[in-house]
Amino acid sequence: MRVLPVVGSGRLACWLAQALAEEADVLVLDHSAPDMGTRFQRRMRGDLADLLAGSLEFADAVVRVSERLALLSARDGADVFLAHVAAGQAQKADLFGGFLALAEPPDWLLINTQSLELAAELMDANGDLVLAVHDDPGSVRETYSRIKAVAGDGLRSNLRIAAFARDELAGRRMFERLAATADRFLDLPLGFGLALPESEDRRTPGSALTARLRAAVHEWCPAEFPIPASATTMNLA
């Protein structure tokens, strides 16, 4: 199972989920508002918190968008799980171990959130995080502030920037300015993810964009998420 948090863009998370679901089983752990169900015109059912409490089984909590794409709300469950971790009742890797132990585990677990802090905490210095930024001064300032906050907490995961801009060149220039500032003042290297068309607002990506997204994601996550042997398996079935 490969794990990828997508921060700051439900549109990008939606595109990635659909692109990957053309070739693999995808579960979106959704910690956003509006939720992914709204984007896919589905009504969300249960929450990760219900699984952790044992009040729902996995099959009853998820929403199926297609045969290979499912959604699970984590609006409440993410905080509940991290409270278990803080109380010494779980390790962060236990959550991923629980999904991996399902009868039919997903090939990809996407985490859709607006909180870079939450994504960084869940990943616990493993793998890549994708952070979306838009080509306007306000978005760039907000993005830098979010990066600065997690850098102060010792962020060690690879942080890749997905730049929404009018064209590829504008996206790369925006990334270069942001990366130079983060390197100079935070001593934090940023990676270029990809440039995306700001004008593209369709729910379903076209074939060319789908191919670009799949190629980028396989470059970001070339291997399965490392789950330590000491992790216990949370019962999420």
- Residue written as token pair 């060690």: 156
Rounded Cα–Cα distance for residues 43 and 98 (Å): 24
* Helix segments in the chain, DSSP class H: 10-21, 36-39, 48-53, 58-61, 77-86, 92-100, 116-123, 137-152, 168-186, 207-220
Contact 27, 153 (CB under 8 A): no
pLDDT attached to residue 135: 87
pLDDT attached to residue 231: 66
The model carries a pTM of 0.92
Rounded Cα–Cα distance for residues 181 and 163 (Å): 16
Closest among 131, 180, 122 to 153, alpha carbons compared:
122
pLDDT attached to residue 162: 95
Distances (CA, A) of 78 to 65, 96, 180, 188: 22, 12, 33, 26
In tens digits, the chain (237 residues) has pLDDT values of 999 999 999 999 999 999 999 999 999 999 997 788 888 888 888 999 999 999 999 999 999 999 999 999 999 999 999 998 999 888 888 889 889 888 899 999 999 999 999 998 888 878 889 999 998 888 999 999 989 988 877 666 789 999 999 999 999 999 999 999 999 999 889 999 999 988 766 677 888 889 999 999 999 888 888 887 766 666 665
pLDDT attached to residue 237: 52
- Residues 38-78 pLDDT 10s: 888 888 889 999 999 999 999 999 999 999 999 999 999 99
- Residues 77-98 pLDDT 10s: 999 999 989 998 888 888 898 8
* Both structure tokens of 235: 């019962």
Rounded to 10 deg, the angle between the 137-152 and 168-186 helix axes is 40
Name residues whose C-beta falls within 8 Å of residue 133's C-beta, 6 or more positions apart in sequence.
Answer: 8, 139, 140, 143, 161, 162, 163, 164, 174, 175, 178
